[in-house]
Structure 1
Amino acid sequence: MTPAEARGTYRPALDITEYTDPVCPWAWGSEPVFRLLRLRLGRQLGDAVRWRRVFGILFDDDEDPAPDPDAEARWYERFTHDVGSHTGAPYAPRLHRVARSSWPASLAAKAAQAQGPEVAERVLRRLRETMFVLGRPADTPEGILAAVRGVPGLDVHRLREDAAAPATRDAVRADWAETRRPLPEVVDLEAPGPHPGRAKEAGDHRRYALPTLLLDGPGGRVCVPGWRPLETYLEAARTAAGTAAQAPPVRLPAREALERWRTLTGPEVALLTRESAPPADAVRVDTGHGPLWLHPAESALAADETAGRQGLVQ
């Protein structure tokens, strides 16, 4: 937190709110574009852009259990494969089960934010990978701790305590409520595409489709729901920021990208790196839909028989 934030006087030129969930396949498929968007806006605006994540709780605690869990898993497996066909994202060859609840992973992802943005990014990424690479979503405190083992800079003991703290649950409960107050323009939205972002029915409420970005700035508020190309987000950022300036194109050397993000999907390699190819020492993991590339240190963790990501590298 900067001194201005602590005083309550910080006003970013661009304030971005991302409505998401660790086990949402559309959010997983949007990661390459969102990574590049954060990178480009960071180069353009620096500290004048703030990105806030709101965990919308795709699978709630009060939902009735499926009468046939295996049939539910096969249905949701087909759904994630269909989403992956649109986004290009990897998916697990077999989904062993549907997440029992989004709450444990959302609590952990929220708690990780107290340890800094890089740690928070890596924790959330690990949680997503349990679902979409391993097919075994981390939806218990024990499973989450196993999944995040070895995240650089992460204090696991602190994460465990913070995730269980009442203040963290209150924060995620506030996220749940905020997600269920969608802007009028998305409630009855009619738009083309496989995931246009119309608000979803969620029990007695409607919630934002996941992911949805709200961009606020001097130029006003712009809502970008659903699955959209990078250019749509960049145009929304220009509008909200009240500027005609284009965020500078940027791609990182493949080595720098892997050091920064630790794992890269095929679409991320193509979109984020200058070489459009992984570094020579990146470890390839084949999924049901293209490769995932691991940093060598991530590979070593995955190969450790006691690691939470056991089975990622055979």
Structure 2
Amino acid sequence: MTAATEQLPLEIVEYTDPLCPWAWGSEPVFRRLRAALTRESHVRWRRVHCILFDHDDDPAPDPAAETAWYARYVEDISGHTHAPRALRLSRVAASSWPAALVAKAAEAQGAQGADRVLRRLRESVFVLGEPADTPESALSVVSGVPGLDVGRLATDAASPEVLAKVRADHAEARRPVPEVLSVHGSASPHPGAAKETPDGQHRYALPTLLVRGAAGHRAVPGWRPYEEYVSAITELAPGLLPSPATLPPAEALARYRTLTEPERVLLTDGGPWPPAGAVRVGTGNGPLWLHPEEAAVHPAVVPSPPAVPH
């Protein structure tokens, strides 16, 4: 790279959905990757909400049977990713739009707040078993996030500006780069070939990371190990990615607020676990650990407040 191109930004685009089980299972690796890039001011991480459960999906003729099938599907995925799954799933999400609108609106309140809002939305389905698939439930499940202005969030999530942004995400997700239309040679149980949509288009499989720089782009679709993301980044920006520093358990839990067992392994330095005051929430596939301040407001421990009117 020349001195000029070294100064150009590297963009990492995360194609995701708050209610996607493979995206939930990729959280440990993505958290580790974002931590490794925290000090790189010329790296931009952007999320595109692809809308897994769309308006044009046909309603299930037998909702109970569909829920039972989908619970088994999530259980199978969690067997690969080791991510928590709800002890009981109440239903299959009716729509991803409400959660995507809330997640997108939260970006106006800062990156840390947006991360925590998205995390709560994921936990709504994979820990609580109650997918945040209505405006009311999406706002309710995030209402205890520290520092979040929930009134502003409700107003922003219902605004034409945020709707336009999510519509743009929806369209962008349906313009995948050619190399993900078919994926070969991967040992992953979810190699991430683009999915055909009901109208004959294709959208990115979830999750997919697209790394863009002056030297081109690299796509890493599906569920992949950390090293594949590192390789894609270093191909475009050699020497950019530092070795991520793990944190002592108490510091990691304070930073991330909630940690799954795979995240504990990837993000902590292996010190004594659990940290003092950590609250354990049982799931169908291992615990979710909460920081004590998070446990005081988390809907897995305390009832959610009434939905915010909008």
Q: Identity, % of aligned pairs?
A: 60
User: 1:257, CA displacement in angstroms?
Assistant: 1.3
Q: Which amino acid aligns with 1:96?
A: S
Residues in 2 aligned to 1:275 and 1:72: alpha-carbon distance in whole angstroms: 40
Report matched runs for 1:112-261 at 5 Å: 112-192=106-186, 193-204=188-199, 205-241=201-237, 243-244=238-239, 246-261=241-256
Would you say the 8 A contact 1:211–1:225 is kept in 2? Answer: yes
Aligned to 1:266: 261
**Distance in 1 separating the partners of 2:275 and 2:204:** 38
Change beyond 3 A, Cα 1:12–1:272: farther
Which region of structure 1 is more displaced relative to structure 2, 32-41 or 269-278?
Answer: 269-278
What residue number does 2:71 align with? 77
> 2 CA distance for matches of 1:92 and 1:154?
26
Which residue is equivalent to 1:6?
Answer: none
Q: What amino acid maps onto 1:268 in structure 2?
A: E
Q: Which letter maps to 1:42?
A: T
Comparing 194-203 and 213-222, the one that deviates more: 213-222
Given that 1:91 and 1:289 are in contact with CA atoms closer than 8 Å, whether structure 2 keeps it comes out as yes
Distance (Å, rounded) in 1 between the aligned partners of 2:250 and 2:102 = 29
Aligned partners of 1:195, 1:41: CA distance in 2, in Å? 25
Cα deviations by residue, 1:20-78 (Å, 9 ceiling, x for unpaired): 000100000000000000111224xx211110000000000122211111111111111
**2:86 maps to amino acid:** A
Matched residue, 1:67: 61
Matched to 1:252, the amino acid is: L
**Mean CA deviation greater in 144-153 or 296-305:** 296-305
Structure 2 counterpart SS, 1:47: coil
CA–CA distance in structure 1, aligned partners of residues 130 and 224 of structure 2: 28
Aligned to 2:21: 25
Whole-Å Cα distance in 2 between the matches of residues 174 and 246 of structure 1?
30
- CA distance in 1: counterparts of 2:35 and 2:123, whole angstroms: 21
Whether the aligned pair in 2 keeps the contact of 1:224 and 1:236 (CA below 8 Å) is yes
1 or 2 for the larger relative contact order (CA 8 Å, sep ≥6)? 2
Please report how far the alpha carbon of residue 86 of structure 1 lies from its aligned counterpart in structure 2 after TM superposition.
0.7
- Greater helix percent: which structure? 1
One-letter code aligned to 1:233: Y
* Unmatched segments (≥5 aa) in structure 1: 1-10, 310-314
Alignment-mate amino acid for residue 206 of structure 1: H
Rounded Cα–Cα distance in structure 2 between residues aligned with 1:267 and 1:120: 22
Match of 1:300 in 2: 296
Deviations 1:293-312 (CA, angstroms, capped at 9, x unpaired): 01112212244445479xxx
Paired with 2:160 and 2:241, the residues of 1 have a C-alpha distance of: 42
Q: Which amino acid aligns with 2:293?
A: A
* Stretch deviating more after TM superposition (167-176 or 253-262): 253-262
Q: Distance in 1 between matches of 2:77 and 2:155?
A: 35
Alignment RMSD:
1.6
What letter corresponds to residue 122 of structure 2 in structure 1?
A: R
The one of 49, 52, 69 equivalent to 1:55 is: 49
1:38 is the counterpart of 2:55: no
- Number of aligned residues: 296
Q: Which residue of 2 aligns with 1:289?
A: 285
CA distance in 2, matches of 1:94, 1:275: 31
